[in-house]
Amino acid sequence: MFSDDTMLFPMERLTTERLILRRMDVSDAQDIFNYGKDREVARHVLWDAYQYVGEARAYVRAMQRKYRLGEPASWCIELKGTGRVIGTIGYMWYQRDHNSTEIGYSLARDMWNKGIMTEALKRVIQYTFEDLQIHRIEAQHEVDNPASGRVMQKCGMEHEGTLRGRLMNKGKYVDVDLYAILMEDYRRRREMLRPSQHETR
């Protein structure tokens, strides 16, 4: 629970059955580069596939600066028992006046469709409502990235609409689907959203 405005996002270590969400370190840059250079991973996110490991290092350093300042930031996702960083999840922004935030995420391609991001997002949603006491969490995905929308649905987020030409991604305007979950939705469906058991498909 936070009490000091400057430490709104303490980015504490979180765990789930298969995952550790933790602050990233420069030593994680190689793992992040290994999946971040994959164009399929980068296709529907607003960063370009990495060409050099130095780009992943710069990303980690930018996150570390946010950790120091208590700003909204991302955790890296470590697969328990391997030490390997397989993705990231975190806050894109926070609006203090409205007590709302947006979550974004990405995952190494060899880990897709195993319920990993659903497990991570459920834990982050739980933390955001129960520990940070934020009122509204948004997430958005490009309309031609339905797997991401499915993750949002499985985490209890509701589709609020399609925003036409909302983003410019890799030189093209793209339509995005907006999802959100409110504190009251979470309280109502807390049992269903409990992240303790990994998703079985």
Ligand X SMILES: CC(C)(COP(=O)(O)OP(=O)(O)OC[C@H]1O[C@@H](n2cnc3c(N)ncnc32)[C@H](O)[C@@H]1OP(=O)(O)O)[C@@H](O)C(=O)NCCC(=O)NCCS
Range in contact with ligand X (rule: CB under 6 A) among 38-46, 71-79, 125-133, 156-164: 38-46
Q: Which of residues 162-201 bind ligand X (CB under 6 A)?
A: 199, 201
Residue 137 has a CB neighbour count (10 Å cut-off) of: 26
Range in contact with ligand X (rule: CB under 6 A) among 40-48, 127-135, 163-171, 186-194: 40-48
Euclidean distance between CA atoms 142 and 148, whole angstroms: 9
Q: How far is the CB of 7 from ligand X (least distance, A)?
A: 28
Out of 66, 84, 114, 135, the residue judged to bind ligand X by CB under 6 A = 114
116, 19 in Cβ contact below 8 A? yes
Residue number, 23 or 141, with CB nearest to ligand X: 141
Q: What tokens were used for 130? A: 């129960």
Instruction: Cite the beta strand spans of the chain per DSSP E.
Output: 14-15, 19-22, 74-79, 85-95, 100-107, 136-142, 158-169, 172-182
Q: Which of residues 45-74 bind ligand X (CB under 6 A)?
A: 45
Q: How far is the CB of 85 from ligand X (least distance, A)?
A: 13
Binding mask 115-134 for ligand X (x = CB under 6 A): xxxx----------------
Say whether residue 150 binds ligand X (CB under 6 A): yes
Out of 26, 147, 168, 192, the residue judged to bind ligand X by CB under 6 A = 147
Q: Look at residues 69, 55, 196, 200 and name the one whose alpha carbon lies nearest to residue 122.
A: 196
Range in contact with ligand X (rule: CB under 6 A) among 76-84, 93-101, 106-114, 158-166: 106-114
Total count of residues recorded for the chain: 201
Q: Collapsing DSSP states into helix, strand and coil, what is residue 185?
A: helix
Euclidean distance between CA atoms 173 and 185, whole angstroms: 32
Kindly determine how many residues on this chain lie close enough to bind ligand X according to the rule CB under 6 A.
Answer: 22
Q: Collapsing DSSP states into helix, strand and coil, what is residue 122?
A: helix
Euclidean distance between CA atoms 99 and 108, whole angstroms: 31
Out of 107, 134, 157, 174, the residue judged to bind ligand X by CB under 6 A = 107
Q: Which residues bind ligand X (CB under 6 A)?
A: 41, 44-45, 105-107, 112-118, 141, 145-148, 150-151, 199, 201
